[in-house]
């Protein structure tokens, strides 16, 4: 089966501290991977996507960055967190071909910046 | 710019009712439309995907329809159960051919459903 793991599940960090969220995918090779953020009272917003190792595209300018060091690993980072970075971060992958690019999501990481 | 709207924002029904959730989008040039379920504090679970050439998809008690020309989709839930209580999200995407090879989803704000016994 194809599974998405996200770590950690929850995180509380002070303003100005660094951040590293990890997403790993099982059961598929060369997936397209995505980072979304769901902020309180707001919808899901696409932050980054990657079509392969070392290939990162950003959707919106922000305090965050992403990296893809391995085919099945996608990392979201920040050097200095802001209060506005609080939210629920979701990693996703899509399935192409006959599945019509159906997108599947991981369990998410709840980030609270204090 | 594609915008997705979901109506109603919240819905509370007694168990056993059939119900309809609505999703509308402003740009009819979509590649597919996907319905998700989100339980509190959890990730998204894909329920149904309708490709632009399709009119509807069914899975168990769920049926999703798509009218691309009018920019609308509905999710029909038959014989609702308390376990159906969750937030339901609708998302549309453009063809990867026009999106740099990736599948960017534009989400609605969701419909929060409560089914009470």
Cα gap B88→B39, rounded to integer Å: 9
Cα gap B40→B84, rounded to integer Å: 12
Task: Please state the φ and ψ torsions of residue B9, each to the nearest 5 degrees.
Answer: -75, -30
Cα gap B106→B91, rounded to integer Å: 5
At B38-70, the pLDDT tens digits run 999 899 999 999 999 999 999 999 999 999 999
> Reduced to 3 states, what is the DSSP secondary structure of residue A106?
coil
At A62-98, the pLDDT tens digits run 789 999 999 999 999 999 999 999 999 999 998 765 5
For A36, which residue in chain B has the nearest alpha carbon? Answer: B105
> Reduced to 3 states, what is the DSSP secondary structure of residue B96?
helix
Closest alpha carbon to A38 in B41, B86, B102, B8: B41
Question: Which candidate from A43, A44, A94 shows the least CB-CB separation from B103?
Answer: A94
For B100, which residue in chain A has the nearest alpha carbon? Answer: A51
Q: Give the single-character DSSP code of B42.
A: S
Structure tokens belonging to residue A79: 């050097």
Question: Which candidate from A32, A43, A88 shows the least CB-CB separation from B103?
Answer: A32
Q: Inspect the interface and report whether the beta carbons of A107 and B107 lie closer than 8 Å.
A: no
Q: Inspect the interface and report whether the beta carbons of A110 and B41 lie closer than 8 Å.
A: yes
Contacts of A96 in chain B (CB under 8 A): 96
Residue spans of chain B under pLDDT 50: none
Q: Inspect the interface and report whether the beta carbons of B41 and A43 lie closer than 8 Å.
A: no
Overall average pLDDT of the A44-50 stretch: 92
Cα gap A10→B74, rounded to integer Å: 34
Identify whether the C-beta of residue A11 lies closer than 8 Å to the C-beta of residue A22.
no
- Helical (H) or strand (E) element with B32: strand B32-38
């Amino acid at each position: 089966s194809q599974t998405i793991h996200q770590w950690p599940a929850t995180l509380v960090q002070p303003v100005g501290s660094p951040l590293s969220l990890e997403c790993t995918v099982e059961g598929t090779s060369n997936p397209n991977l995505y980072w979304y953020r769901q902020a309180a009272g707001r919808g899901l917003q696409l932050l980054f996507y990657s079509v392969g190792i070392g290939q990162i595209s950003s959707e919106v300018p922000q305090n965050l960055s992403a990296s893809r060091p391995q085919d099945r690993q996608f990392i979201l980072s920040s050097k200095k967190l802001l209060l506005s970075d609080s939210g629920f971060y979701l990693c996703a992958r899509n399935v192409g071909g006959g599945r019509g690019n159906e997108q599947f999501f991981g369990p998410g990481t709840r980030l609270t910046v204090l | 710019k594609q915008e997705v709207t979901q109506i109603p924002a919240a819905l509370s029904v007694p168990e056993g009712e059939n119900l309809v959730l609505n999703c509308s989008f402003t740009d009819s040039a979509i590649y597919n439309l996907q319905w998700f379920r989100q339980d509190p504090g959890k990730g998204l679970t894909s329920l149904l995907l309708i490709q632009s050439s399709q009119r509807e998809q069914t899975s168990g008690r769920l049926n999703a329809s798509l009218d691309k020309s009018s920019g609308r989709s509905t999710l029909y839930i038959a014989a609702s159960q308390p376990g159906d209580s969750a937030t339901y999200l609708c998302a549309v995407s453009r063809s990867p051919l026009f999106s740099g090879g990736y599948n960017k989803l534009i989400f609605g704000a969701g419909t929060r459903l409560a089914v009470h016994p």
